[in-house]
Amino acid sequence: MNKVALVTGGARGIGLGISKCLAAEGYNLAVSGTKPELDVSAVLYELRENGTEVLYVQSDVAAASDRARLVDAVRERFGALHALVNNAGVAPLERADILSATEESYDRVMNINLKGPFFLTQTVANWMVSQAEESTSYTATIVNVGSISATLASTNRGEYTISKAGIAMATQLWAVRLAQHGISVFEVRPGIIKTDMTSGVVEKYDRMIAEGLTLQPRWGTPEDVGKAVVMLCRNELPYSTGQVVMVDGGLTVGRL
């Protein structure tokens, strides 16, 4: 029986890259997103082309009722879950200096980027623990998609950077709590990835990459992140729970 992975925000951007890589690995997929299923039908068709079973659930991870409905739908369709990838996230609606950032923007980003993944993980982790207690052969992995913004300050999107710093700590918390149940928890921390979220700053980062921002002189791709997630879900780092896997082309390597 194929393993099952849930990827939030898995029909676009980095999430789609992750979904494609997991599908290629033989996982059946549960994909969530805020758009109606009809709007992502072409993407879902592509994911299903090689025989992958794909469940799409329109849901908002920031809403408790949507999170419960999402997990219930996965349980009903597949009866099991082996990997959770907390990928869904948003940038601020406006890049505003922290001297003028609004509470509305802060709350929106925090609810989607931090609160939602934390409580979705809580629900899924309890289910994973139950599965582990029922079967000694059961294995599970949780991967949080963070960002280099967890440690690199950007004063024109402070709420986003704080949310990603929170994801880094949440990864450690869940790794500590779930280790006794054999459930590994990791953070994948992307750098400059070419997606619709970064489409408005292409010229800026093209220039910075040309000037040496990254050791590997190119943009990252969603598939670069997806390959890292697959590696973790395959349990190729079996003695490394709680750790961060950098997917940033060497951007954060210290240099003199």
| Catalytic residue ranges | 160
Which residues, at least 6 apart from 42, have a Cβ–Cβ distance to it below 8 Å?
none
Number of neighbours of residue 122 by Cβ within 10 angstroms: 12
Which residues, at least 6 apart from 161, have a Cβ–Cβ distance to it below 8 Å?
147, 149, 150, 152, 153, 154
Q: In what order do the strands lie in the sheet with 28-33?
A: 54-58, 28-33, 4-8, 83-86, 140-145, 183-190, 244-247
Angle separating helix axes 222-233 and 13-24, nearest 10 degrees: 50
Q: Are 192 and 219 in contact (CB under 8 A)?
A: yes
Residue 192 and residue 146: Cα distance in Å, rounded? 12
Amino acid, single-letter form, for residue 85: V
- Compute φ and ψ for 61, nearest 5 degrees: -65, -20
Q: Are 47 and 26 in contact (CB under 8 A)?
A: no
Q: Is 162 helix (H, G, I), strand (E, B) or coil?
A: helix
Closest to 155 in 3D by CA, of 202, 196, 100: 100
Amino acid, single-letter form, for residue 37: E
Residue 209 and residue 212: Cα distance in Å, rounded? 5
